[in-house]
Structure formats: C-alpha cells, structure tokens
C-alpha cells in the first residue's frame, strides 16, 4: 500500500471538519503525501488476518470527503490510528481485541490497543495519586457520601464517559447531592469517581498534549462558561491556548515517561489548579484550537516521531 494511513473513527459525517482532531491529523497526513483511509469499528473483519472495509479520504478544496471503499488488510497500512471516541463499552473492547491481533501480525496501531484495553482513562491517573486532588473510586454511595463530608464539595463522574457528560458537582449543603450520588452509582452497583472540587477550575481545565512522552509547549485552558463548573468545549467552555507552566511541564514529563513505556504515542492530560485529574489516551483532542491560536502544530510532532 506504499505510504498509507487508516483512521478508525466515529462515522465520518459526524466529525466536525473545522475542529475535529482526527480530521486535522488526516489533513497533515495528506500534506505529507500519505494515502488516507477511514473506517468504523464495525467495518473490521477477522479471518486469518484483520481487514477492514475502508473509504479513501480525498481533499476537495479544504474539505475532506470519502471516496471509494476497499477491503484492505490492516498490516498493509504504514500506520493505523485508533481514534474512536468513548464510551469504552463492549463494542470498543472487542475492537481493541481485534486490533491487538492485527498488531501481532505486524500492523502499526496508534495508540497501542493493549494499553487502551488495560488502562481506563480515569483510573490510570490514580497511578499518579500524589499529583492528583483527593480522589475516591467506589460503587458504595455511603463511602462517597463520607468522602463528600470530608471535602464538602466534590465532583462525581462515570468511569467511561467523555466530553463532560454526566458530571455533577455535589456539596454538603445541597439536598440533591445524595440523590445524584445514588443515581450515578445506580444504587451502589456501579463504580464511579469522586474528586475534591477545585475552585480554580474558573481559571481553566488545562489540556496538555503529550506526544511521544513529551508535553507539547502550548496547552489549551478550557474555561467554563458563566454559571458552569465544566471546562469541556463540548459543554460550552472557551478554549484559550497558553504556554505550559513549569509545573504543567513537570506533570507532563512524569506522566509522559509512563505513557512512552506503554507505547502510547499521543495522549492528553487534564490539569486543574496544578493537579492532574485525567489521562486521555483514546482520542485526545484540542490540537486544532492550539494551532489556530498559536500557529504551533502539535500534529507535526506526531508525524516527526513516527
């Protein structure tokens, strides 16, 4: 297949052309004379080897479009980017199992499917609990309530979500807090994460991109809109690109060394008030906003490290 790259993503038409990081990586690949193909998880098929029904991606003015479909063996691509958004549900896990077999047959998959399979993004950060705010993971709503009483204001979220969905701030003086905890744990059946609320979220939830173990020099401060505590751009947060601070660099390097050891080429870590809150390894975003505001392109770093 010569120089070619496959992207496994959500449905192509659902990717927002002007701000989606996967589209941005595709454009960079086309610029570098790679042939670019795209498929969804359901297009994969394993017989002796893993192949996929893929659409070729072509550039029409500045818009990417899908062209003819072919069935292609994954090992024949120079690289395959697994960029499907969470939730990491059963279909997602099955896809990772298939990709793992393909990588044993010589397919070059980014990020390492085994690592995505092993590390839940929210739980993975707990390896660095000394860099994090006080955090609890439990299905027991009474334990989370005790944690709330100690910290007075906490944020609770599911372990497999993204984009700020289903995240609640609960506090000891809000009567609905207990209800929210019981709902999210599904009556003490489902593990969730609780974290001490960091009021400095109003200065931004900083997305630091870590590429081949190194934090990129610019990050994106995602600043919540008025009346919200969620910085996520999907929740109306405003993205402001900034140079990383020495503290953010230090956290990025510590986490980056671990990511590199697991063959995770491209990750996004979230930092609020100099505390690590999450490590995103499934489909990190914010590259477009950083490039638009600074002219520095994190994606070129990805290709340079390939």
CATH number of 121-126+200-305: 3.30.470.20
Query: So what's the architecture of 134-197 in CATH?
Result: 2-Layer Sandwich (3.30)
Distance CA 130, CA 258 (A): 15
Q: Specify the pTM.
A: 0.94
Task: For tokens 């070059």, name the residue.
Answer: 108
| pLDDT of the residue at 218 | 98
Which residue ranges make up each domain of the chain? 4-118, 121-126+200-305, 134-197
4-118 CATH fold: Rossmann fold (3.40.50)
pLDDT attached to residue 163:
67
pLDDT-flagged residues of the chain (< 70): 1, 162-164
Helices (H), the chain: 21-31, 90-104, 113-118, 121-124, 141-151, 177-184, 246-261, 287-294, 298-305
Q: What is the pLDDT of residue 305?
A: 93
């Amino acid at each position: 297949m010569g120089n070619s790259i496959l992207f496994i993503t959500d449905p192509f038409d659902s990717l927002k052309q002007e701000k989606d990081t996967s589209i941005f990586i595709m454009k960079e690949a086309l610029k570098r004379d790679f042939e670019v193909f795209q498929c969804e998880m359901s297009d994969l098929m394993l017989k002796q080897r893993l192949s996929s029904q893929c659409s070729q991606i072509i550039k029409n003015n500045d818009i990417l479009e899908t062209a003819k479909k072919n069935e292609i063996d994954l090992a024949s691509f120079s690289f395959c980017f697994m960029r499907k958004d969470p939730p990491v549900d059963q279909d997602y896990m099955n896809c990772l199992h298939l990709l793992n077999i393909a990588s044993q047959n010589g397919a070059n998959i980014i990020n390492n499917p085994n690592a995505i399979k092993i590390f839940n993004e929210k739980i993975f950060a707990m390896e660095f609990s000394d860099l994090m705010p006080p955090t609890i993971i439990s299905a027991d709503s009474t334990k989370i309530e005790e944690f709330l009483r100690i910290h007075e204001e906490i944020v609770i979220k599911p372990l497999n979500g993204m984009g700020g969905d289903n995240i609640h701030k609960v506090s000891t003086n809000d009567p609905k807090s207990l209800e929210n905890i019981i709902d999210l744990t599904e009556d003490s059946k489902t593990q969730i994460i609780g974290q001490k609320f960091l009021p400095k979220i109003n200065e931004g939830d900083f997305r630091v991109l870590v590429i081949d173990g190194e934090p990129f020099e610019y990050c994106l401060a995602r600043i919540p809109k008025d009346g919200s505590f969620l910085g996520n751009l999907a929740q109306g947060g405003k993205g402001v690109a900034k140079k990383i601070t020495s503290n953010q660099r230090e956290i990025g390097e510590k986490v980056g060394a671990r990511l590199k050891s697991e063959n995770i080429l491209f990750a996004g870590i979230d930092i609020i008030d100099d505390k690590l809150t999450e490590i995103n390894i499934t489909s990190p975003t914010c590259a477009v906003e950083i490039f638009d505001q600074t002219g520095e392109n994190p994606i070129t770093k990805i290709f340079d490290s390939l």
